[in-house]
Structure 1
Amino acid sequence: MVELITVCTGNICRSPLAAQLLQTRLGDLDPRVTSAGTRGLRSARMTRESAYLAQHLGVPAEVSSAHRSRFLQESDLATPDLIIAMTREHRRDIAELAPARLRHTFTVREFARLAATTSDADLVSSAAAAGPDGGARLRAAAEVLAARRGLTPPPADPDDDDVVDPFRQEWSVYQRSAAQLVPALDEVVRVVRLVAAPR
């Protein structure tokens, strides 16, 4: 089984949407996908706009309606094979809580950028060396991507590694946030499927 966690600020817009999309799109692999926020609200529902986006993108309505926000704890970071932050600030917060997990922590758009410049053969080879366990295989592939951080040119605009926060913004900002998030999640799904199961 693979385990992922997504992290944003209040855990009511970006990270629950990301977690629900990952859970839905990887459902046949039976992953464990959770989400949390670095600060903000406790036990709050998803925003109406984020819940609408989730349902429009194929998440069952009852999944979104059941979500309640929670704060990120150090213990949340001990077991996930891949830790997906929405922004560089969230990635820094994660690194402060659990510095040993940096090799498995990315912003979602950073992950997609690095994966796009890494050969599938390199990812599969590292996964194969990790053995048959899906989680270990995903961790090994994440380490390959993390090692490319110093080798792959950063984006011209550092903000291109972030997903914009739509909280308390107009609908067009929610749409822009989703337009940044969804293609990056597609790449996460592709890599998880590529490496999680032995070939």
Structure 2
Amino acid sequence: MTIPPPDGPPSGMSRREWREQQEQPAPETAAAPATIATADDSLTILTVCTGNICRSPLAEVLLRQRLEALGVRVHSAGTHALEGHGMPEEALELAARAGADPAAAAAHRARYLVEPYLADADLVLTMAREHRSAVVKMMPGALRRTFTLREFARLASTLSTEEAQEAARQSDGSPRDRFTAVLRAVGEQRGLTPAPPEDDDVIDPYRRSRETYALSAAQLTPALDEVERIVRAALR
């Protein structure tokens, strides 16, 4: 999604609504995300896109479906969120088709990315490089645990499950410590598996054709397989 220019609102929003939104200060704190209750040492994954209505919530509900049995919390936010908006019909259809809980997808409401979400996350998966840059600018300390989704999948694919499990065993600590060790191994692959920069982005389908929504999902869903594999290897 293109970030709206500073002198006008995005499509679908009146100039008055946009002006009022711009005048509101960013929240210092945020309500706890609607995820399962877990222990303090459980993992938290945050997915990020622009409006938080298409790509990041699709990744959120699909990852939650795959990982909630392991006690992993998954939630999402947007750098320029259409706050309070739900997922569009096309995204809801893709979520259901990919096996997500339709009720969970329908319940999603967009929210702004704020620092507490980043501080709480063990892994931040952004949908494009622009979102990764926004995350690191907001919280430089999150650099080593922030990847675009497709970047993470590309790097993780160079590690076998056995290598990931060995990295986790080197920690011999809590689930969070084990995951941090595996994440470090994934990060060390940066620079070793070059790819065209645009290959690390998931295309934004907002206000575009159903074919574009399908392409976006086709880029996003296989990358989630690698995220799931790495998380399971860390927690095994």
TM-score tier after normalising by the smaller chain length? over 0.9
Rounded Cα–Cα distance in structure 2 between residues aligned with 1:133 and 1:172: 43
With normalisation by structure 1, the TM-score equals: 0.94
Rounded Cα–Cα distance in structure 2 between residues aligned with 1:27 and 1:50: 21
Contact between 2:155 and 2:193, CA under 8 Å: does it hold in 1?
A: no
The alpha-carbon deviation at position 139 of structure 1 amounts to 1.8
1:153 counterpart = 2:193: yes
Larger RCO, structure (CA 8 Å, separation 6 or more): 1
**Equivalent pairs, count:** 195
Write the deviation string for residues 59-114 of structure 1: whole angstroms up to 9, x where unpaired.
12110111000000011111211111101111111111111111111111111110
1:170 counterpart = 2:206: no
Match of 1:59 among 74, 94, 100: 100
1:23 counterpart = 2:64: yes
The alpha-carbon deviation at position 129 of structure 1 amounts to 2.3
- Whose Rg is larger? 2
Contact between 1:115 and 1:187, CA under 8 Å: does it hold in 2?
A: yes
1:182 counterpart = 2:205: no
1:118 counterpart = 2:156: no
The alpha-carbon deviation at position 136 of structure 1 amounts to 2.0
* Structure 2 residue ranges without an equivalent (≥5): 1-41
* Structure 1 residue ranges without an equivalent (≥5): none
1:196 counterpart = 2:235: yes
Map 1:60-139 → 2, pairs under 5 A:
60-139=101-180
Q: Which amino acid aligns with 1:11?
A: N
CA RMSD, aligned part only? 1.2
Q: Which amino acid aligns with 1:180?
A: Q
Identity %: 46
Rounded Cα–Cα distance in structure 2 between residues aligned with 1:85 and 1:179: 16
